[in-house]
């Protein structure tokens, strides 16, 4: 009989400790084309020019340098915009379960992102 293993950091919403009643913590967002294949738990920023979301990257100056949401479920936005659910407010999350873009290269970048998210009531534990 084969042994099955599961990556505890791969399923939809795996990063959530708790969230507001109903769906108040979540919104439908558009992930910008060119964002690539993203896993659930990816920290997102909001592109100022379009209002779409893309992976948080503190080295850019497009709006994504400010963390604004966390991707609820994975997606492939390499070749086109994709509509997905994101946590945007009032939730507790597992900080170690978050996924980070390659542009997030230091612990300070992560700390800054978690501070941004705390402003929306998304609190890292």
Cα radius of gyration rounded to whole Å, the chain = 14
Q: Is residue 102 included in any domain, yes or no?
A: yes
Q: Is residue 13 included in any domain, yes or no?
A: no
Q: Is residue 7 included in any domain, yes or no?
A: no
User: Do residues 114 and 124 touch, judged by C-beta distance below 8 A?
Assistant: yes
Q: For the chain, how many structural domains are there in total? A: 1
| pLDDT score at 11 | 86
Q: Is residue 112 included in any domain, yes or no?
A: yes
Q: Is residue 46 included in any domain, yes or no?
A: yes
Q: Is residue 5 included in any domain, yes or no?
A: no
Nearest residue to 74 (alpha-carbon basis) of 16, 27, 17, 10: 10
**pTM, to two decimals:** 0.92
Residues 48-84: tens digit of each pLDDT: 999 999 999 999 999 999 999 999 999 999 999 999 9
Q: Is residue 3 included in any domain, yes or no?
A: no
Q: Which domain holds residue 83?
A: 24-124
Q: Is residue 101 included in any domain, yes or no?
A: yes
| pLDDT score at 92 | 98
| pLDDT score at 5 | 52
Alpha carbons 30 and 46: distance in angstroms, whole number: 10
User: Do residues 31 and 73 touch, judged by C-beta distance below 8 A?
Assistant: no
């Amino acid at each position: 009989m084969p042994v099955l293993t599961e990556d505890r950091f791969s399923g939809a919403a795996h990063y959530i400790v708790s969230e507001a009643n109903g769906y108040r913590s979540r919104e439908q967002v558009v992930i910008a084309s060119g964002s690539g294949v993203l896993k659930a738990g990816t920290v997102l920023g909001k592109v100022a020019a379009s209002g779409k979301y893309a992976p948080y990257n503190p080295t850019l100056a497009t709006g994504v340098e400010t963390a604004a949401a966390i991707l609820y479920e994975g997606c492939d936005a390499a070749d086109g915009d994709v509509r997905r659910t994101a946590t945007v407010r009032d939730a507790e999350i597992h900080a170690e379960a978050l996924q980070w873009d390659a542009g997030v290269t230091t612990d300070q970048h992560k700390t800054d992102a978690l501070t941004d998210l705390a402003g929306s009531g998304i609190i890292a534990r």
